[in-house]
Amino acid sequence: MILRCIECGKEYPIDEARYRCECGNLLEVVHPLETLKKKLSRKLFDERLARRDFPYNSGVWRYKELILDIDEKFIISRPEGNTNFYTSGKVAEYVGLKDILLKHEGENPTASFKDRGMTCGISAAKMLGFKRVACASTGNTSASMASYAAMAGMESIVFIPEGKIAFGKLAQALAYGAKTLQIKGDFDDAMQLVQEVCQELGIYLLNSVNPFRIEGQKAIGFEVLQQLGWQVPHWIALPGGNLGNNTALSKGFKELYELGIIEKVPRIAVVQAHGANPLYRMWKNKTSFTSVKAQTIATAIKIGNPISWKKSIRGIEWTRGVVEEVTDQEIMDAKAIVDASGIGAEPASCASIAGVRKLVRAGIINKDEKVVAILTGNLLKDPDATVNYHLGKLKGIKSNYANKPIQIEPNLEAVKKCLK
């Protein structure tokens, strides 16, 4: 394994704490695929799936040779992954497909997909000898990092935008013991600051600029394929915020393809919120990348200057993917449908559902195609958005699928009248 610049190709050893090349571009982990061809197979991964011993009971470390092949003494795992597929006739009808599979990453230990990247990032920090780790976060990254750092006995420092983080996420960072710094500004301001702090104070940075974080998140795609018996779906749809997830999945699919474990790759649909859509603007208008001032109810993807945009575009093009945008109204309506199906997810998760609906209506996704939509976080990550939607209290958003509580007198007749 080595680290390689995505632009100039300069290489660095993995035991060097580095996030960017000397030329300023991001790095990625390069695995010895030619050597691994002799070792890795569907059969090996399927055999590990039946094991419950450490570290193969993890839905990340089951694929460790393609994630981070290090001594097990460095691995910090809860374990993560092994999340479920769900089907819903209600959701399928809403998006206009015969069937749709929902992969719920909110079932990870801290209730979001971030745990897949964080187990890898924290394990790398332990391997490199760090005692302190830090991240900027709109919520999910901070919750995950704080948890895994606590398990590893590390100090964690979180930089969050003041007043712009859902309480369900802030509560986790505080509970897990992170030193939480609220800054005046948005996520992009926090991201700029945390990079300066980590560089100056020798703290290990665990945002998706960290190449090992991306490696862990590849396991979402690996697990999707394994759960489908290694049959490749036509599409995988997922929300786009800092763009680490689609970067990770496309990288992982490319590696599986080059190893001969799969014969084709799924197309990736990245869905951004209209108020935080720099990648969509670049894609749609065929222009250079320009950041935006992010504004959306979907706090997990409220990012106007995503770190991974270059990697992201490369992956989308390689998978013949697309980028779409959806409004907050479309996100919250899709969320209401997902929630009412008994599945539930936070707002950002449901950008994927809203995006699939839009792409089906545009004829980009065929109604007969097999689609997997990634739900990135648990319903209780942002309970305020859910409750206020059903109470009709979200500014500028209509509660088209509201389920309001009904006030009644405390007697049987009142209940009977209500239940009629």
Whole-Å CA distances, 309 to 192, 266, 282, 302, 312: 16, 20, 10, 15, 5
Our measurement of the distance from residue 63's CA atom to the centroid of its chain's CA atoms, rounded to an integer in Å, reads: 18
Buried b (16+ CB within 10 A) or exposed e, 286-298: eeeeeebebebbb
- State the pLDDT at residue 164: 66
- DSSP letters of 166-216? -HHHHHHHHHTT-EEEEESS-HHHHHHHHHHHHHHHTPEE-STTSHHHHHH
Listed in order, strand segments (DSSP E) in 222-273 are 235-239, 267-273
Q: Which residues of the chain have pLDDT under 70?
A: 164
- State the pLDDT at residue 18: 93
**Exposed, middle or buried, 224 (CB in 10 Å: 0-12/13-18/19+)?**
buried
Whole-Å CA distances, 216 to 139, 195, 225: 19, 21, 16
3-state DSSP call for residue 279? helix
Q: What is the pLDDT of residues 11-24, one digit of tens each?
A: 999 999 999 999 99
Q: What is the pLDDT of residues 151-198, one digit of tens each?
A: 999 999 999 987 767 778 889 999 999 999 999 888 889 999 999 999
Whole-Å CA distances, 327 to 152, 293, 330, 357: 40, 15, 5, 12
CA-derived radius of gyration, the chain: 21
- State the pLDDT at residue 288: 94
